[in-house]
Amino acid sequence: MENKKDISMDKISCSARKNWQYHIRDWIDLQRNHAKMHGNLEFNYENIDYAFGIAEGITKMWGGRVAHTGDISKLDEYWLYNHGIGLKLPLSNKIFNDELYKESLNLLKLYHRKGNAIITSVDEFSKRLKNDFPYYQIEASCIQDVDSLKKLKKKISLGCYDTIVLPIHMNDDIKFLESIKEKEKIRLFLNAECSYNCPKKVCYGGTSTVNTNKSNIMLCSFYDLGLERTFYNDEINWSEYYFNKLKFNKMGFTKYKLVPPTEQQQRTFIMYEKNKNYPKKRAEDISSIKSYTGAENILNVLQSHIGYSKKDTNQRK
C-alpha cells in the first residue's frame, strides 16, 4: 500500500483499550509494528497526539464500550505524558443530563491539563466542557455520525469542537472529503473495524444504557438483530487492512485514528459475507429479546436510546 512518506505533520490517535496489566508502550508498539508490516505505514511516538481509553476514575459518561476497571493505569498515564502523548477520555455516552455531569466532575478535574482531550457524542456536554474545562481539546466522536456537509457545518458552527471524527465509511466518499474546507478539524480512521459496514449501530446506544445503569442489555446488529452488512468484500483480510493515508494527505488531512489490530477490538468476523448466517441469537421479534434478565422495559430502552424498532427485524432474511 502506498503509505510511506514524511509524516512529520501527521497526528495519529492510538487506542489504549487493553488489559490494564499490559504497559501502554507495548500496546502502542503493537499498533505501530502492525501498521508498518501490513499497511506500509511508519510513525513514531512524536506522531501520536493521543492514546484513548478508560482511565482511572469513576463516571457514567464512558462510551463506545461497556465500562470496566480501566485500560490506562497511572504508570501508563505518566509514560504517555513523558513522551508528549496526551490522554483522550472516551466520554461518548449518548445519554447526558445535569446529574451525570455533576457525577463526572471529579474525573474531569483529575485529567484537566493541556495536551489531554475528551471524545463526546452530545453537543450540550461538549459545550459545558469547553466552558468549564478549557484545557481539554474536545473531539466529536464518530458516534455522532457526521456523514454530510450539512451535518459537518452544523457541528463546526457550534464552536465547541476542536476535532470531528468521521465514521469509517466516509473514507470512501472521496467527493465529500475533497469538498471539506476545514480539513484541519477532521480525523479519519486508518484501519477498519465492524462499524465500517454496519447497517445500524445499535451497540453505541446499548453501551450508553449499560454504563448509566439504565439497562443490562447489550445488542449487536449482527448477532442479535441478524442484519446484513451494508457491503461485503470477502477478498480483503480486514484485520490487516489499512486505508491509503497518502491519498488523504494529498487532500490536506493530517489527523488520523487507529484501532488495535485484535479481533476483540476490530470484530472483523462479522464483516464477511461467508459468516452472515452465523448469528446465534437472531431474534424474530421483540418478545424474544425480553427473555434477557431485567428486560421488562426493553422496548422502551431500545426505542429511546438505541434507535432499534421492530421494523428492523423485517430486514433480516
pLDDT in tens, 153-163: 999 999 999 99
The answer to whether residue 31 is domain-embedded is yes
Q: 81: domain range?
A: 11-315
Query: How far out from the chain centre does Cα 146 lie?
Result: 13
What are the tens digits of pLDDT across the range 103-134?
Answer: 999 999 999 999 999 999 999 999 999 999 99
Local confidence band at 316 (pLDDT 50, 70, 90 cut-offs):
very low
3-state SS, 147-188, equals: CCHHHHHHHHHCCCCCEEECCHHHHHCHHHHHHCCCHHHEEE
The answer to whether residue 6 is domain-embedded is no
pLDDT score recorded for residue 4: 57
The answer to whether residue 3 is domain-embedded is no
The answer to whether residue 4 is domain-embedded is no
Distance spanning both ends of the chain, measured CA to CA = 36
Q: How far apart are CA 69 and CA 101, in angstroms?
A: 20
Count of domains for the chain:
1
Q: What is the CATH number of the domain that holds 84?
A: 3.20.20
pLDDT score recorded for residue 278: 87
Query: How far out from the chain centre does Cα 67 lie?
Result: 14
The answer to whether residue 2 is domain-embedded is no
pLDDT above 50: residue 311: yes
The answer to whether residue 292 is domain-embedded is yes
For the whole model, what pTM was predicted?
Answer: 0.86
